[in-house]
Amino acid sequence: MRTGNMHVMLSVTLQVVMFASFIALLVLIWRVSKWPRWRIRAVVYGWAAVFLLAIFWTALMPRCCRNLMDSSTLANTFPDGTIAMAALFGGWFWPLIVVGIANCRDRKTTGNNHAA
């Protein structure tokens, strides 16, 4: 019974770390987009980073935790491979939103509201 609780705690902890790593990646993209002439690069590199993070959580982490969890807990804890494909095709969306919001806030604070 104690090992079952450990598997549940490990599963919840890994899911929290997975969510926190995605939020930390978005914060990093936001910080990089503030650099001069890095808005487009932040979206493109952010897209690649989202895809690599998805590969990490869908392929590498389940293999590393294979000896720690049984197969049902492993399947419930980690996302399947469709998340990696979604990150490949739609991973540009979140970096674009973060960079767009940061750009809009910068325009409002600096007073450059002219149409470019």
pLDDT single digits (tens) 23-51: 999 999 999 998 888 989 999 999 999 99
Q: What percent of the chain has pLDDT over 90?
A: 31
- SS3 string, 44-113, reads HHHHHHHHHHHHHHHHHHHHHCCCCCCHHHHHHHCCCCHHHHHHHHHCCHHHHHHHHHHHHHHHHHHCCC
Using a cut of 0.75, tell me whether the model's pTM lies above it: yes
